[in-house]
Amino acid sequence: MLRRLHSQPGLVLAVALTVTAVTGAALSVAPTLDRLSTPTIARGVSVADLAGAVAARHEAVSTIRVRPTGVVTASFSDGEASGVERIDPATGAGLGAYAPSTSLRFLTDLHRAFGLGSDGRVAAALSALTMLVVVLSGVALLARRLGGWRALFRPIRGERADRLHGEVARIAAIGLVVSASTGLWMSASTFGLLPEPAGVETVAASGGAALPVGRLAALGAVDVADLRELAFADPADPTDTVRLKTAAGETAIDPATGRVLASAPATLVDRVDGVVRLLHTGRGAAALGLVLGLSAASVPLLGMTGALMWRRRRSRVVAPLASVDAADADTVILVGSDGGSTRGFAATLADALTATGHAVHVADMNAVAEVHFRADRVLILAATWGDGGAPASASHFLDRLATIATRAPVAVLGFGDRTFPDFCGHARAVTAALAAKGFPFLIETKRIDRRSTQEFAQWGRDLGRALGHELVLEHVADHPAATTLELVEREDYGEAVDAPVAILRFAAPLDATRGRPGRLPNFEAGDLLGVLHPDAAIPRFYSLASSTRDGMVEICVRRMPGGLVSTALHALAPGDRIEAFVRENPSFRPDVAAPSLILIGAGAGLGPLAGFVRESDGSRPVHLYWGGRSPASDFLYQDELARALAEKRLTSLVTAFSRDPRAGAYVQDRIAADEHRFRELVLHGAQILVCGSRDMGQAVAHTLDRIVRPLGLDLATLRAGGRYVEDIY
């Protein structure tokens, strides 16, 4: 519901919102231009002195007005000639004829009414209301995605469009809310929906001979800085009064005596209206106008990135999976998916079960009903949205589950992102609810990190054992079109310690049609290279140690016993080619705002960490802890790291070699020995990035959690703030 409230109005009124925002951004520059070209209204000059100076230069003056731009004007007539001039607020001297910009008028009309008159004003009001709804619902969505309002400024994970959309939105949100809400107020005022100002009561002057306006005592007590408008008395009407308007209200003054005859203080609505107009236009507050203009200028970018995200979600919507009727099924698969990837896993599971003779029915978790639990078993694939939230297709599951009376054996498989504190929180909530109602479990609930096909295959083997037959789940996720890469260089390590590791560097092959190397895809160190092999059902992913700026694709690969792809990569010779694609991994990146970095890895996990060191410019401390087996056999990137230390792009390097006969240790041992330095770095905001095997990651996490406890912190808190990130496998 919240997502529809955010996306649908924005898509329907995209053009109107863009016009409103772009014209608003253009108009926001006007206060700054006015400020540069208009004398500042300083305190110390009375309205009487200003009015007297202006009146002395003309036969008749009707009004002196301080316009919202800060320009002071006087309407006058000299015989048959009349006009409006700009005046110096300090001296009353004329500064030339007042002629509002035609382009400014055009932009203002386009902004307020789309150039359509009164009908356009209604459309502009609807546009402002839509803007307010879209921004507030968007902020609520972002907070839910990141784990709550307190987490609103956590690092944003996801694809490039998602990150750009979220980062820009949370910067511009306050300005857009101010612009939209004040625009609604001004529309309400235009349509007469707000109380009209009471104004001063009608009174008659004494009828005596008028004093020179510069001698009126009531005007002498008011500073020009507080003036809004001064209306002179009509010399042909002895009963007419001088009318003075300030922020405090309106006053009627006797032109013959200078006494105040009546006054009306500004109402609350008047005062709010003045603040609203200042906030909306920035008139009189040039800096505020520019801030609001920058916020408005973000709307086209937000619209484009939002449309890309919407289109991507639509493209991921999977057609209803082929399945038998629920009443005829022996196995029911219930799916809770947001972007569609979990439905892809469900399709793989359904196909594998059908191939082994099962009658399978697939449905969304929100469609859960009594009939589903009359099957022999129910398998629930539950994705988690953000930090512990339920995806849209499972948002009502727990409520509906409470009404189910039938019991059937169940198995729950959770999909999520381990970098969130509440990893697979929705799947855990589903498991707890099923257990509380007494459902028997086929196997223990498993949680899959970032759509790991390897972990999915292992769960399938466990499920197959529970079902009494083999179950092979080879899930092939959608991926970008493959790029051909040619090996240009390799470095080999670790043969002597039975842990072969190769650093492989690839380039795009020569483009024969253009006679130069082909183009590499865009990527950063820490992104993933998906390597395809004709005999492997699924791609194998390796962390990138280079970025596009390096002009090469570099990965660090350990040859795994029986590993088809890793063995094939180790067999490559310069000139050999592979097919691969890049997958962004934005959750594993150094935070540009972190005052220092702590990089921790073991074995081939050094690859992306070496890439981060390569990109360091020495402007902040970077500390690297790395573990291998033997310093003589598998000290990866040894020469490059030595250069980085000498050039002060790397602050310190601590190594641990498990088979070193003199000082054998693991990387977590070195961390424990440096616990005091770790605490000091963490206390001052360091970000920790860990890459390597899951066993190493767990050992490091256990050690670090113990180290930071005396600071009143834990790893969950550091993860939540983006200060502890992992890429483990």
The DSSP bridge partners found for residue 121 are none
pLDDT at position 379 = 95
Query: How big, in percent rounded to 5, are the helix, strand and coil portions of the chain?
Result: 40, 20, 35
CB atoms within 10 A of CB 101: 11
Q: Are 70 and 60 in contact (CB under 8 A)?
A: no
Q: Are residues 191 and 202 in the same domain?
A: no
Q: Which tokens is 593 given?
A: 């705002």
Mean pLDDT of all residues in 268-285: 74
Task: Say how far apart CA 719 and CA 722 lie, in whole Å.
Answer: 5
pLDDT at position 604 = 93
Q: Are residues 607 and 642 in the same domain?
A: yes
**Strand-pair category, 227-231 with 94-97:** unpaired
Q: Which tokens is 276 given?
A: 């609203």
Strand ranges for 508-658 from DSSP E: 510-511, 516-517, 528-532, 540-543, 553-558, 577-583, 597-602, 622-628, 652-657
Q: Are residues 455 and 412 in the same domain?
A: yes
pLDDT band per the 50, 70, 90 thresholds, residue 107: confident
Asked if the model's pLDDT at residue 39 lies above 70, the reply is: yes
User: Is 182 a domain residue?
Assistant: yes
Task: Say how far apart CA 349 and CA 444 lie, in whole Å.
Answer: 17
Distances in whole angstroms, Cα of residue 93 to Cα of each of 53, 97, 512: 7, 12, 75
Q: Are residues 159 and 181 in the same domain?
A: yes
pLDDT band per the 50, 70, 90 thresholds, residue 514: low
Q: Are residues 83 and 220 in the same domain?
A: yes
User: Is 105 a domain residue?
Assistant: no
The helix/strand/coil state of 596 is: coil
CB atoms within 10 A of CB 107: 17
Instruction: Please list the alpha-helical segments (H only) found in 411-450.
Output: 425-436
Mean pLDDT of all residues in 275-303: 72
Least confident residue range of 290-299, 399-408, 567-576: 290-299
pLDDT at position 683 = 93
> Domain ends where: 467, 491, 506?
467
Nearest 5°: phi and psi at 200? -75, 150
Mean pLDDT of all residues in 185-211: 80
Q: Are residues 500 and 384 in the same domain?
A: no
Task: Say how far apart CA 4 and CA 40 lie, in whole Å.
Answer: 48
Least confident residue range of 93-97, 241-245, 293-297, 642-646: 293-297
User: Is 561 a domain residue?
Assistant: yes
- The candidate with the shortest Cα–Cα distance to 63, out of 91, 214, 72, 197, is 72
Least confident residue range of 59-63, 107-111, 297-301: 107-111
- For 183, the domain range is 2-20+111-195+278-311
CA 418 from centroid of its chain's CA atoms: 20
pLDDT at position 579 = 93
Instruction: Give per-residue pLDDT as tens, 129-186.
Output: 878 888 887 777 777 666 667 667 766 766 677 778 778 878 888 888 888 888 788 7
Scanning the structure block, which residue is given the tokens 């920790």?
688
User: Is 320 a domain residue?
Assistant: no
CA 85 from centroid of its chain's CA atoms: 48
Instruction: Give per-residue pLDDT as tens, 694-725.
Output: 889 999 999 999 999 999 998 888 887 789 98
pLDDT band per the 50, 70, 90 thresholds, residue 318: very low
- The candidate with the shortest Cα–Cα distance to 169, out of 309, 13, 20, is 309
Residues 6+ apart with CB under 8 A from 309: 161, 162, 165
pLDDT band per the 50, 70, 90 thresholds, residue 411: very high
List the CATH number of the domain containing 336.
3.40.50.360
Q: Which tokens is 378 given?
A: 């129910």
Strand ranges for 163-239 from DSSP E: 227-231
Strands of the sheet with 724-728, listed across from one edge:
652-657, 622-628, 597-602, 687-692, 724-728
pLDDT band per the 50, 70, 90 thresholds, residue 317: very low
Residues 6+ apart with CB under 8 A from 13: 126, 127, 130
List the CATH number of the domain containing 541.
2.40.30.10
Task: Say how far apart CA 446 and CA 444 lie, in whole Å.
Answer: 6
Least confident residue range of 272-276, 333-337, 560-564: 272-276
The helix/strand/coil state of 12 is: helix
Scanning the structure block, which residue is given the tokens 């996801």?
158
Task: Say how far apart CA 408 and CA 394 lie, in whole Å.
Answer: 19
**Strand-pair category, 687-692 with 724-728:** parallel
- The candidate with the shortest Cα–Cα distance to 72, out of 85, 55, 56, is 85
Task: Say how far apart CA 729 and CA 716 lie, in whole Å.
Answer: 19
Nearest 5°: phi and psi at 535? -100, 5
Q: Exposure of 729 by Cβ count < 10 A (0-12 exposed, 13-18 middle, 19+ buried)?
A: middle
Task: Say how far apart CA 45 and CA 72 lie, in whole Å.
Answer: 13
pLDDT band per the 50, 70, 90 thresholds, residue 255: very high
- The candidate with the shortest Cα–Cα distance to 127, out of 112, 147, 115, is 112
> Domain ends where: 556, 583, 610?
583
Distances in whole angstroms, Cα of residue 657 to Cα of each of 501, 638, 670, 684, 693: 15, 13, 10, 29, 16
Average pLDDT, the chain: 84
pLDDT at position 147 = 60
pLDDT at position 608 = 96
Q: Are residues 296 and 433 in the same domain?
A: no
> Domain ends where: 415, 435, 467?
467
Distances in whole angstroms, Cα of residue 665 to Cα of each of 475, 658, 708: 38, 5, 22
Q: Are residues 675 and 646 in the same domain?
A: yes
User: Is 273 a domain residue?
Assistant: no
Q: Are residues 183 and 122 in the same domain?
A: yes
pLDDT at position 64 = 94
pLDDT at position 587 = 77
Q: Are 160 and 729 in contact (CB under 8 A)?
A: no
Q: Are residues 451 and 352 in the same domain?
A: yes
Instruction: Please list the alpha-helical segments (H only) found in 402-532.
Output: 425-436, 453-467
Helix axes 14-27, 102-113, angle to 10 degrees: 150
User: Is 626 a domain residue?
Assistant: yes
Asked if the model's pLDDT at residue 120 lies above 50, the reply is: yes
Q: Are residues 121 and 142 in the same domain?
A: yes
Task: Say how far apart CA 671 and CA 667 lie, in whole Å.
Answer: 6
User: Is 32 a domain residue?
Assistant: no
For the entire predicted model, the pTM comes to: 0.59
Q: Are residues 154 and 289 in the same domain?
A: yes
pLDDT at position 8 = 56
- The candidate with the shortest Cα–Cα distance to 450, out of 342, 362, 547, is 342
User: Is 104 a domain residue?
Assistant: no
Task: Say how far apart CA 163 and CA 556 lie, in whole Å.
Answer: 28
**Strand-pair category, 528-532 with 377-383:** unpaired
Instruction: Give per-residue pLDDT as tens, 597-616.
Output: 999 999 999 999 999 999 99
List the CATH number of the domain containing 713.
3.40.50.80
Q: Are 464 and 457 in contact (CB under 8 A)?
A: no
pLDDT at position 48 = 93
Q: Are 520 and 553 in contact (CB under 8 A)?
A: yes
Query: Side chain identity at 53, as an amino acid letter?
Result: A
Please give the share of the chain, as a percent, with pLDDT higher than 90: 41
Asked if the model's pLDDT at residue 127 lies above 90, the reply is: no
- CA torsion sign for 55, 61, 63, 64 is negative
Asked if the model's pLDDT at residue 554 lies above 90, the reply is: yes
In the chain, how many domains are there?
Answer: 5
Asked if the model's pLDDT at residue 31 lies above 70, the reply is: no
Where is mean pLDDT largest: 301-310, 376-385, 529-538, 637-646?
637-646
- The candidate with the shortest Cα–Cα distance to 555, out of 527, 520, 535, is 527
